[in-house]
Amino acid sequence: PDLGEDGLPLRALGLAGAGFLRREMERGEDRVIGIGHGRTLAAAVHQLPRFEAAGVRFVSLLGGLTRNYAANPHDVMHRLAEKTGAQA
């Protein structure tokens, strides 16, 4: 792939991050997962397929941020919960 292509590095990181998150949730060892923020995490959640992880709870590792923040962690957590059925 051409790493100069717009968005490709972020998309590649998103795919890797999505794979990591899914493996961690499927292992079932961690019931509470702390979530930060940022474009890379948002890309990982975007790439994450829908699957059942209802026994998992996501918690924010940050305080409250404004809605104008580029990758709002509350949006990321909401999308994670929506895709996995987990609690956020």
**Does the structure show a pLDDT above 90 at 15?**
yes
**Does the structure show a pLDDT above 90 at 76?**
no
Which residue type is seen at 88? A
**3-class SS at 59?**
strand
Tokens of 17: 């991050």
The 10s digit of each residue's pLDDT in 41-58 is 999 999 999 999 888 998
What are the extents of the domains in the chain?
A: 29-88
Q: What pLDDT is stored for residue 36 in this prediction?
A: 83
**C-beta separation of 2 from 8 below 8 A:** yes
For 3-14, what is the mean pLDDT? 79
**C-beta separation of 75 from 41 below 8 A:** no
> Which tops the pLDDT comparison, 68 or 38?
38
Tokens of 11: 């998309």
| Terminal Cα distance for the chain, rounded | 36
Tell whether pTM > 0.85. no
**C-beta separation of 55 from 88 below 8 A:** no
